[in-house]
């Protein structure tokens, strides 16, 4: 006998996500904010990206914003030396 699982679907509007990414980029640029807070902000951006609905109008803007967040994160960390 199988059981039905009721999944609650929640989504995030692309415009809201774009605004969050802009706030994240400001967080990365602020030297007064510690590294752990910046790491948590990046983690939140990644988790929120999973809530985006690809069928929403403006989804492409959220994708561009996510790319910008990744680039900002990579620019924040100095290159590692081998």
26-78 confidence digits (pLDDT tens): 999 999 999 999 999 999 999 999 999 999 999 999 999 999 999 999 998 86
| Closest to 62 in 3D by CA, of 76, 48, 44, 73 | 48
Q: Report domain extents, the chain.
A: 14-76
CA proximity to 21, closest of 11, 33, 13? 13
pTM score > 0.85 for this model? no
**Distance, CA of 77 to CA of 82 (rounded, Å):** 15
């Amino acid at each position: 006998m199988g059981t039905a699982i009721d999944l609650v679907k929640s989504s995030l509007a692309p415009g809201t996500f774009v605004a969050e990414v802009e706030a994240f980029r400001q967080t990365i640029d602020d030297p007064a904010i510690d590294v752990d807070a910046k790491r948590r902000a990046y983690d939140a951006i990644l988790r929120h990206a999973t809530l985006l609905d690809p069928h929403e109008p403006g989804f492409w803007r959220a994708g561009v914003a996510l790319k910008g967040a990744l680039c900002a994160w990579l620019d924040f960390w100095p290159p590692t030396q081998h």
